[in-house]
Structure 1
Amino acid sequence: MPPRRRLTPDARRDQILAVAARLFAERPYDEVLMEEVATRAGISRALLYRHFPGKRELFATLYRQAAEQLLERTRLDPADTLVEQLTQGLDAHIEYFAENRNTVLAANRVLAGDRVIQTIMTDELGALRERLLAVLPVTDDAVRRAVSGVLNGWLVFVQVLCVDWLTEESCSRTELRDVCIGAVLGAIRPLLDEDPAPDWPPAGSAPDGRPGSRKA
């Protein structure tokens, strides 16, 4: 057997995070053991704990990395309409939630009271709010503050709704996305002089974007 290649500290840390990401995605948080992370990574427990003092710290590092990657994937294109940007961003988030169900549930339920996890979520939601504010037709400071508050509440609503959807799956991904789009547009339209999304709802849809006839 060839000798094991010695990794730099940064490369070893990345390897541990990759192994942990797979384990946290495969099973609930409480069923992931640090000993198994070490075994899967092919390292000793002592080396694992040298990089991460505990499972919460390992998970928090992994979750921050995932949040940063998701923000990068959902970078909005100013050439797109607001509805197109919302659609693309929500599709990416819902896809991530579905592919990483156990990780998302751990962050939002098992570790809901963890201050580090909450800070990561707050930072992510804040970045998303600022991106949306940047593409909305808002120039007045008072209106901007009002819209910012609405967007903040909407982002929390989307997060809670998506987490519930992971456990209940009471609608399709498209329906979930369209409900979220309809909710934010319904909330910000009364605050703006200009309709930010004249292309919503699509022709032949209900006011919330669901398929069906619109009332006159």
Structure 2
Amino acid sequence: MTSEPRRRLSSAERRAVILEAAGDLFGQAPYSEVPTQKIADQSGSSQALIFHYFGSKAGLYSAWVDETMQKLHNTIDAALDELPPNTSSRDKVRTAVEIYLGHVQAQPLSWSLTRRGNDEPPEATNTRLEFQDQMFTKLMGLLDPQSRRGEFAIAGIFGFIDAACLEWVDNDCEADDYYSLLDAILGSLQGALGDWGN
């Protein structure tokens, strides 16, 4: 009995396979400790193909970060779109925060490394900052603050979330701590805002 010949992957499929393999490895170790040969081996490709599709290891890492951030952004958008029209601002923010906490919980090591001086390429850092800017704009739209206090509250919550999530990650994302963390984030934002507006 002869086996069927392996199907040749299209360029888009090969690129996706390389990205998936890179994501698995970057999720387990710092950027500098993941060699391109290991990514090539895990994806069943070659270093030459990695450089062909992504230009460099930095380009591959940045593409992975971009894809990860885009998926997170799209997931938040989709969840908000599914909420009933009369959903309160607090519940909309809660929904977005819950999705973000799920993102942290799914990849605690790679998430925390980027907050602790990981030597990631500048392009990837810029992508993360762009995502934060998008989330700032989204929260501004959800909460519609009528004062500078509200704008400062929304800008400042990102630092609070990072610090609180780092504490959570250091405790292995303990499930029993999830709702305490969620309540702390929402309570911190409410306290800074003064009220939710609606």
Fold agreement, TM-score > 0.5: yes
- Higher helix proportion (structure 1 or 2): 2
Identity of aligned residues (%): 22
In 2, Cα distance between equivalents of 1:58 and 1:40: 14
In 1, Cα distance between equivalents of 2:18 and 2:144: 44
Specify the alignment match of 1:90 in structure 2. Answer: 97
In 2, Cα distance between equivalents of 1:10 and 1:107: 28
In 1, Cα distance between equivalents of 2:37 and 2:144: 52
In 2, Cα distance between equivalents of 1:113 and 1:43: 23
In structure 2, stretches of 5+ residues that fail to align are none
Specify the alignment match of 1:196 in structure 2. Answer: 196
Whether 2:141 is the aligned partner of 1:134: answer: yes
Task: Give the TM-score normalised by the residue count of structure 1.
Answer: 0.76
In 1, Cα distance between equivalents of 2:160 and 2:130: 16
How many residue pairs are counted as aligned between the two chains? 189
Larger radius of gyration: 1
Specify the alignment match of 1:124 in structure 2. Answer: 131
In structure 1, stretches of 5+ residues that fail to align are 190-194, 199-216
1:69–1:167: structure 2 CA closer, same or farther, 3 Å change rule? same
Relative contact order, higher structure (CA 8 A, sep 6+): 2
Shift of 1:69: 0.8
**Partner amino acid for 1:177?**
L
Check the 8 A contact 2:62/2:124 in 1, yes or no. yes
Specify the alignment match of 1:155 in structure 2. Answer: 158
Aligned pair partner of 1:101 in 102, 105, 108: 108
Shift of 1:125: 1.3
Specify the alignment match of 1:50 in structure 2. Answer: 52
Specify the alignment match of 1:185 in structure 2. Answer: 190
1:185–1:11: structure 2 CA closer, same or farther, 3 Å change rule? same
In 1, Cα distance between equivalents of 2:154 and 2:190: 10
**Partner amino acid for 2:72?**
L
Check the 8 A contact 1:20/1:37 in 2, yes or no. yes
In 1, Cα distance between equivalents of 2:166 and 2:52: 33
Q: Residue 157 of structure 1: SS of its match in structure 2?
A: helix
**Partner amino acid for 1:150?**
A
Aligned pair partner of 1:165 in 145, 163, 168: 168
Shift of 1:20: 1.4
Shift of 1:15: 1.4
Check the 8 A contact 1:150/1:188 in 2, yes or no. yes
Superposed, 1:28-47 pairs within 5 Å as 28-47=30-49
**Partner amino acid for 2:115?**
N
Check the 8 A contact 1:25/1:100 in 2, yes or no. yes
Task: Give the TM-score normalised by the residue count of structure 2.
Answer: 0.82
